[in-house]
Chain A
Amino acid sequence: MTAESTRVAEQFDDAAQQREAATLGMWAFLATEILFFGVLFAAYTVCRLLWPDAFASGSRHTDLPLGTVETAVLLTSSFTVALALRDVQLGGRRVAAWLFVATATLGVVFLAIHGVEYHADYEAAVIPGLRYEEVGPLAPAKQLFFILYYVTTLFHGLHVTIGVVLLLVMAWRVRAGAFSPDDHSALENTALYWHLVDIVWIFVFPLYYLVGRA
């Protein structure tokens, strides 16, 4: 590894220090992301303990087949972005660029499927604040489930959207030859971000889709 092959910002001594800072910075940022989502998971835990049946009933409103497909799509996209990164590390460019595009496409597919779910929810009138026509004994408490469901999935969807944009930018930059096996912190961080978005969904899935399915 030669120092000339990487661009080192003036505050750093060398490329290794710069890379270390970038990686640690990203992980620190991910820790804050976990706490952002964490509030919603904590609220979920408390509300579900207070209203177990409403949460089971609310969960049965979600679309299990679609949810499963969404999970599979995101897990696969984590795989493709990891492959893309590996390819860059091995000196690849074209395949890596296409893998980034593929990852972004999977992200778009995820958003599209979720859009279908939202539409079905609107038809079924289970969107509090917008169209909520649930009646029956559990209706008020089920509203809590749906609020948390929407805030969590919308916030997650926002992250997916940002991720898709980032991935496409990265695909373009990879194609333009902006990275080398020695110098690709931006790619690594994008991949880390995308994996975290995946991890959040890994927890959303059992908590919102799998309750009361027995």
Chain B
Amino acid sequence: MSEKPPSLRAHVLALLALAFLLAATVFVARFHLGALNAFAGLAIAGLKALVVLFFFMKLKTSGTPVRFAACFGFAWLAILIALTLGDFLTRTPLVVH
């Protein structure tokens, strides 16, 4: 194997970080923050996903094609959601005179 196995320490730290983020997201959800609730939930989920991607899935040490492949799924999902919302959010209610 050309690549070095990751250290045990890194894995344990990653798990601790995930546990902390899980506690944080449940904690934050208990406060009335309006739209910030959804934002916080997604932001923390994003952080968790990044921890899994970079440490468990070893994106940290992967080559360029693999990193690209990892981004593509998320990027295309972003396109789908963004342009679909572009329609739904700009619909104007019908006014009858």
Contact = CB atoms under 8 A, between A and B. Distances in A.
A148 interface: no
Interface of B: 1-2, 5-6, 8, 11-12, 14-15, 18-19, 22, 25-26, 29-33, 37-38, 41-42, 44-45, 48-49, 52-53, 55-57, 62-63, 65-66, 69-70, 72-74, 76-77, 80-81, 84-85, 88-89
Interface string A33-67: 11100110110011001100000000000001000
Contacts of A205: 25, 45
Given A192-B57, A198-B52, A210 B88 contact: no
Interface string A62-102: 00100010011001101101110010011000000000000
A197 to B, nearest CB: 10
A214 B1 contact: no
Given A34-B76, A82-B6, 5 more contacts: A42-B77, A45-B84, A46-B85, A203-B45, A206-B29
Contact of B69 (A28, A207, A211): A28
A195 B11 CA distance: 13
A18 B57 CA distance: 19
Nearest to B80: A42
A202 interface: yes
A16 B70 contact: no
Contact of A35 (B8, B29, B69, B76): B76
A75 B19 contact: yes
B27 to A, nearest CB: 10
B59 to A, nearest CB: 9
4 closest Cβ contacts across the A-B interface? A34-B73, A206-B41, A31-B73, A27-B69
Nearest to B74: A34
Contacts of B62: 23
A79 B51 CA distance: 11
Nearest to B71: A31
Contacts of B70: 27, 30-31
* Among A16, A82, A211: residue with most chain B CB under 10 A: A82
Contacts of B56: 78-79, 81-82, 191, 195
B31 A35 contact: no
A93 to B, nearest CB: 15
A127 to B, nearest CB: 24
